[in-house]
Structure 1
Amino acid sequence: MKDLEGRVALITGSATGLGRSISVKLAERGADVIINYSRSSTEAEETAGLCEAAGAKAIVIKANVADPDDCRKLAEAAAPWGKLDILANNAGITRHARDHGDLDALSKADFMDVYEVNVVGAYLMLQAAKDLLVAAHDQTGRASAVLNTSSIAGVKGIGSSVAYAASKGALNTMTVSLARALAPAIRVNAICPGFIGTRWFRDAMDAESYQKVTRRIESTTPLAVASGPDDIADTAVFFLSDASRHVTGELLLVDAGMHLGKAGG
């Protein structure tokens, strides 16, 4: 199905993991894609190759979304098309301090680093891309689609650290604010995944611990599964396609029911 043919998509943090899956799925649906990375150049080129194999044009841009100049450089990559139909703010970082009661585990610098990428970075990308997103609307009459990758942490106050959870809570609020402010030219939504089996998660622990966490997730979520990036990307593409053309300002938990807890638990 090439329902996104002729559209241009920019996906931040798309060298690996969820960003890669979103990029490839958009390419398979016909969109041309701008791939972004901050460190993983080899992986970013691999993502671009997968998108090109699906028939899309793919551009790879190194940029740090916490830097306004880099955000402008990313947005300018869409200038040859004269528009930007899709922006997926997927780039994110954390600082690991799982004992939320240990108030010495995080410094001011830790908080600022996390907020700069997870919250301010998404804002700066929208700021840089706004004119191109509006141009897409003006050319087609269709609202451009922006999707922020948030987290269950921003809803439940759980996760890798207080800083991470707080940043995703702020991202959720910003999603609603901007959905209202940027309509009707731009739709803004967010997905809030739970566990995702990506390198980003695996790198935080050794292999044995990762397997234990995976088994725990499978045994405690109502759907009895541990989600992978493709599982979450399918929902992301829903928000970035015409299937959600009447949806804006929504925060959707995509967590296999993790937020519910298990019956009898």
Structure 2
Amino acid sequence: MTDMQGRKALVTGSATGLGRSMAVKLAERGADVIVNYTRSSTEAEEAADLCRAAGAEVKVVQADVSTTEGARALAAAAQGWGRLDMLVNNAGITRHARDHADLDALGRDDFLDVYAVNVVGPYLTLQAAKPLLVAAHADTGRAASVLNTSSIAGVKGVGSSVAYAASKGALNTMTLSLARALAPAIRVNAICPGFIGTRWFRDAMDEAGYAEKEAQVAATTPLHVASGPDDIADAALFFLSDAARHVTGETLLVDAGMHLGRAR
């Protein structure tokens, strides 16, 4: 499919994991892509090479989305295109404190750090990119698409920490607010993954612990699978494509049924 031929996309946090998968899939469907990273230029260039192999024009930008300067740097990279058809606010962080009853596990700075990236970051990036998104609508007559990567944590109040769950709940609410405020030029939606087999989970445990976690997820989700980044990215592309041209203000759980509870 090349239904996104010539469209311009920015995917934050796209050096690895879900962000990389979304960037590559956009490139495979014809879009040009800005790959964003904060730390690893090597991984960002690997992601960029995969996008280039699909025929995309790629720009690689190091930027911290939690800062005004970082958000503006990302928008500046798209300025040469004159428009931005798609913005994926994917960059995110957490603080691991899985016992939500342990209120001493997190402090003020933990909350502020998580909110800075997971909530303020998408707002600043959209703020900086808004003129380019509006320009895309003016040029094409098609609403530009913003997609926020949220989480089942923001719907169910579960996950790596209270701070993370709260930040994703805030992101879901912001998705609603901005979808209403920015229409008709810009559509704003969110996806809410459950478990994704990426470094996000691997970094929080050793290899044996990760393998056990993945097996446990596959055994207990209603669909009996543990999702990988490509599984979530396929759902993300629906929101970014013309198939969702009449969809805005929606949050979609993409979690193999995890929100339903344990499989029978």
Band the TM-score falls in, shorter-chain normalisation: over 0.9
- 2-side partners of 1:187 and 1:263: how far apart? 34
2:58 aligned partner, one-letter code? A
- 1-side partners of 2:96 and 2:51: how far apart? 32
Match of 1:241 in 2: 241
Match of 2:204 in 1: 204
Q: Cα–Cα, structure 1 residues 15 and 263, in superposed 2: closer, same or farther, change >3 Å?
A: closer
- 2-side partners of 1:16 and 1:23: how far apart? 10
- 2-side partners of 1:46 and 1:84: how far apart? 23
2:153 aligned partner, one-letter code? A
Q: Which runs of 5+ in 2 are unaligned?
A: none
SS of residue matched to 2:253: strand
Q: Cα–Cα, structure 1 residues 138 and 38, in superposed 2: closer, same or farther, change >3 Å?
A: same
- 2-side partners of 1:71 and 1:199: how far apart? 24
**Cα distance, 1:255 vs structure 2:** 0.1
Is 2:164 the partner of 1:126?
Answer: no
Match of 2:220 in 1: 220
Q: Once the two structures are superposed, what CA deviation does each residue of 1:193-231 show, in whole Å capped at 9, x if it has no partner?
A: 000000121111001111111111011100000000000
Match of 2:102 in 1: 102
- 1-side partners of 2:204 and 2:263: how far apart? 29
Match of 1:26 in 2: 26
Q: Once the two structures are superposed, what CA deviation does each residue of 1:76-129 show, in whole Å capped at 9, x if it has no partner?
A: 111111000000000000000000000000010000000000000000000000
2:102 aligned partner, one-letter code? D
Q: Identity over the aligned pairs, expressed in percent?
A: 75
Q: Which runs of 5+ in 1 are unaligned?
A: none
TM-score where L is the length of structure 1: 0.99
- 2-side partners of 1:263 and 1:52: how far apart? 41
Count of residue pairs the alignment pairs up:
264
Q: Cα–Cα, structure 1 residues 236 and 210, in superposed 2: closer, same or farther, change >3 Å?
A: same
**Cα distance, 1:263 vs structure 2:** 4.8
The worse-fitting range, judged by mean Cα deviation, of 168-177 and 199-208 is 199-208
Match of 1:232 in 2: 232
SS of residue matched to 1:78: helix
Match of 1:46 in 2: 46
Is 2:133 the partner of 1:136?
Answer: no
Match of 1:72 in 2: 72
Conservation of the 8 A alpha-carbon contact between 2:221 and 2:263: no
- 1-side partners of 2:239 and 2:263: how far apart? 30
